[in-house]
Amino acid sequence: MSARPQPLVHPRDYHQEAWHSRYGSVLRDAVFGVNDGLVSMLGIVAGITASRLDHRHVIITALVAVIAATVSMALGSYISTRSENDFNASEVERERREIEEMPEHEMEEIEEIYAGYGFSPEEIAIFQRRFAQNHDLWLEFMLRDELGILRESQDNPWKNAGVMALAVMLGSVPPVLPYLIMSSSRSALELAFVLSGLAAFLLGVMKSLVAKGSWWGSGLQFLVVAGVAAAIGIGAGDLLPSVFRAVGG
């Protein structure tokens, strides 16, 4: 009598250890969204302030930019996550069909994979017999080791979109808030520089705590990126009005 197939156990259940990979995409979207909102809005408010628009128009332009960036980034996150999930689902079904319709070929692939890991032919034969008894286990192995797909780590596109939207709005606060509470665009820009620089540095520090890197190096990296965005925005704000005046005669 053949051994009864055992239920699959995901690595997150081993030894009751926490499984962290599910948070990778959330962290990625959160950091990316906050950084995008911070950097893009700082560049925008710096540029439109340098172009010498009146304070009311600076506020309107900044708020419109925040709304557009939030919607755009959230939709982009949803579409990219949904597309990745759809592609992975098609790969799962294709691999399932191959196991059922071309088992000999799939067994050869198992042999190639385990041989690459350094297993002997006798050891590989044990694995092949085990997979032949449990096609679900066989499928999970092929998805993971041949295609690099972990079905347990599939992202929720709505969740990713929501995280991205909130992150972009949160990142937009430091450069935009001073314009809402101050009546002078120049003074607001100065405060926006301070708040955005501090926020960028702290964001880099927070990223380093999760990624286990140098906190000051990461903070400085984010600060430099925000500074470059502001410099480009100011340069564009100073240059473009002159260009349009020259073109207009």
Give phi and psi for 3, each to the nearest 5. Answer: -65, 140
Q: Let me know: does 197 contact 226? Beta carbons within 8 Å.
A: yes
Percent of the chain, pLDDT > 90?
A: 43
User: Predicted confidence band at 172 (pLDDT cuts at 50, 70, 90)?
Assistant: very high
- Does residue 104 have a pLDDT over 80? yes
Q: Looking at residue 24, what is its pLDDT?
A: 61
Average pLDDT, the chain: 84
* DSSP codes joined into one string, the chain: -PPPPPPP--GGGGGG----GGGHHHHHHHHHHHHHHHHHHHHHHHHHHHTT--HHHHHHHHHHHHHHHHHHHHHHHHHHHHHHHHHHHHHHHHHHHHHHH-HHHHHHHHHHHHHHHT--HHHHHHHHHHHHH-HHHHHHHIIIIII---GGGPPPHHHHHHHHHHHHHHHHHHHHHHHHH-S-HHHHHHHHHHHHHHHHHHHHHHHHHHHT--HHHHHHHHHHHHHHHHHHHHHHHHHHHHHHHHHT-
- Does residue 5 have a pLDDT over 60? no
Of residues 8 and 179, more confidently modeled: 179
pLDDT digits (tens, 9 = 90+) for 12-54: 444 444 444 455 667 778 888 888 898 889 889 988 888 888 9
Percent of the chain, pLDDT > 70?
A: 88
Q: Looking at residue 219, what is its pLDDT?
A: 86
Of residues 245 and 80, more confidently modeled: 80
- Does residue 155 have a pLDDT over 80? yes
The pLDDT of 78-91, averaged and rounded, is: 92
The mean-pLDDT minimum among 6-15, 35-44, 114-123, 210-219 falls in 6-15
Q: How far is CA 44 from each of CA 37, 51, 95, 118, rounded to the nearest angstrom?
A: 10, 11, 48, 56
- Does residue 69 have a pLDDT over 50? yes
Q: Looking at residue 214, what is its pLDDT?
A: 83
The pLDDT of 197-202, averaged and rounded, is: 91
